[in-house]
Amino acid sequence: MNLNEFENHLNGELTPLEPTVELSGKIDRAIRAATGGQRRRLRMRIATVSTALIAVGLFALPTIRTHAELQRMVGAMDNVQSVIMRRQTVLPDGTRKDAGTISYLNGRWRVEEPFGALTYFLNGTRYRLDKPTGRFIEEIGLAGPFRNNTSSLTLSSALGDLQKWDPSVHVEVDRTTWNGREVSRATISEPSPLNRTVLYADADTDLPIEIDTEMLRSGRWLPEEIQTFDYRTKQDVTTFVPDLKSFPPISKGDWEAAMVQRYVMHDLGEIPLKNGRLVVRAIDVAKDGTVFVACQAGDRVAQWDRGYPVDLSDGRGTKYALVDFLSRTDKEFIDHSKDGKLEVCVFVPTEPTTDWSPRELTVTARLTASRSLARHLVSYAGNRKGDITSTLWYFDDTKPIKVVTVAQKAVKSPTVQSVPDYAVRIEPSIFGDPFRWEIKKAKARADYYRSTQDETMERSWLSKTIGLSASGLNSLNADKRLEELNQPRRVPN
């Protein structure tokens, strides 16, 4: 398992890796990891991982094995038979927001993610609840949330195939008094001087008690996210058994086919292409005016963003910012639909809608003379330090094109409150999390104004992005872009 695959694994809601991954997908994930965008650099950003177990497992890696204290912590976890691990985001006022729970009992796992996601591992089978269909997706041969799983909580075995890690990580171990008790403390410094991770373990048992991810703000280390370990609460084995009577199980293959069929059954408009067709499956408008267009254009390359295949107008002259993200369901649609993967194009109004009025939405495509799509293309802009601070969109204007209408829809009122279910389906970490979605929209607007060279509006939306990110969520490098804007400009001689 290489670092890119590890990152994909951690961001996949504990979904084990598939046997093969497209090379293009690996490249794309590597680029996106380097941007510091939606996916934080995972070197030691433990709190962004959905499971605290992986966080502890990192300490067994070769680059820091010389720290005997950390070895003892991992060894202590290897014999644990029951533990509840809770992850929380720390808000600016100090209050904590639930960010998921993992429970373990004698070889059984129960994973509860925010917004209702629920997964069980039982007798070598994973049961993942799919609320839209009311079924448990059944996958045989998966004993736990790691690539390697054992009948006990053996972390060193679970992560044994990770052979390399970042050699620049610095670990400092000491003893201290914390919350009235003597503990072992491991402070892990990241390559970025503004972030660190602190692990507290019981001084007698070496069992981890808490893991804090901290950020340096105004000269003080403040927690962004906290993971706690509870070994004392007695757990009932019945809570580790999925309710298969109320939610009948369905095989992964059958579920994928049914899911795909649900989203490709509507045809709102189509045009022929050189190879295949472009067909619009859904058009939805949120309360703030954001428009979602779900379409298929015959693309069969998974985990690779080729750019938006369509554009949008509403007859009102609204300017839209585009949102950059990857879909997690490409393979399912490629396997079960002749029209290729489902591409969801998200158009965020540069100014949020405050008063609603009916509108006529028109979806268009740009075609070359050979009837190939001239897509929106995405590029990245960075600073001198190498940080990618903006996502910018453009067209290749070197070839003549023809704009054609693909679909139209008259909308009298919002069709969804915030996001449609197919958006959550293809990328739950963005569209399923209201906090992250607001950050993503604000940053998309800031990026739009960067492309138009309107620094006043760009600053405004960068500040909005940073303000929304104060709860410990990633600012998508908005702070670095704002810092760049605030630097004195050099005046040519």
3-state class percentages of the chain: helix first, strand second, coil last, to nearest 5? 25, 30, 40
Residue 240: phi, psi to the nearest 5?
A: -100, 15
CA 130 and chain centroid, separation: 18
In sequence order, which residues have a C-beta less than 8 Å from that of residue 345 and are 6 or more positions away? 292, 293, 294, 295, 308, 309, 310, 312, 322
Return the amino acid letter for 404.
V
pLDDT of residue 74: 62
What pLDDT is attached to residue 152?
55
CA distance 340 to 209: 47
Q: How much is the pLDDT for 333?
A: 96
Instruction: Give the C-alpha separation, 441 to 346, whole Å.
Output: 10
Determine the pLDDT at residue 191: 65
Burial class (CB in 10 A: 0-12, 13-18, 19+), 391: buried
C-alpha to C-alpha distance for 436 and 264, rounded to whole angstroms? 27
- Contact of 129 with 117, CB cutoff 8 Å: yes
Nearest to 371 by CA among 394, 345, 402, 396: 402
Contact, 437 vs 418, CB < 8 A?
yes
Expressed in angstroms, the distance from the first to the final Cα of the chain is 53
34 contacts: CB under 8 Å, gap ≥ 6? 388
Which is it for the CA torsion 367, 370, 375, 377, positive or negative? negative
**What is the token pair recorded at 294?**
């779900």
**CB distance 275 to 254 below 8 Å:** no
What is the pTM assigned to this prediction?
0.71
Q: Is 5 exposed, middle or buried (CB count within 10 Å of its CB: 0-12, 13-18, 19+)?
A: middle
The CA distance from 251 to 135, in Å, is: 10
Residue 327 to residue 126: CA distance in whole angstroms: 22
Strands (E), 50-166: 82-90, 96-105, 108-112, 118-122, 125-130, 135-140
pLDDT at 304: 87
Per-residue pLDDT of the chain (493 residues), as tens digits, is 233 333 333 333 333 333 333 333 333 333 333 333 333 322 222 222 333 333 333 333 333 333 455 566 666 777 788 999 898 888 767 788 888 898 999 888 999 987 678 999 988 899 999 887 889 999 988 777 765 555 556 544 443 333 334 455 677 888 999 999 999 888 887 666 777 888 888 888 888 889 888 888 778 898 888 989 999 999 999 999 999 999 999 999 999 999 999 999 999 999 999 999 999 999 999 999 999 999 999 999 998 888 999 999 998 899 999 999 999 999 999 999 999 999 999 999 999 887 888 999 999 999 999 999 999 999 999 888 888 999 999 998 888 999 999 999 999 999 999 999 999 989 988 998 888 899 999 999 999 999 999 999 999 999 999 888 865 567 889 988 999 998 876 655 5
- Give the pLDDT score at 75: 66
Contacts of 431 (CB under 8 A, 6+ apart): 419, 423, 424, 437
Q: CA 181 to CA 233: how far, in whole Å?
A: 20
The structure tokens listed for 71 are 């070895």
Instruction: Give the max Cα distance, the chain.
Output: 78
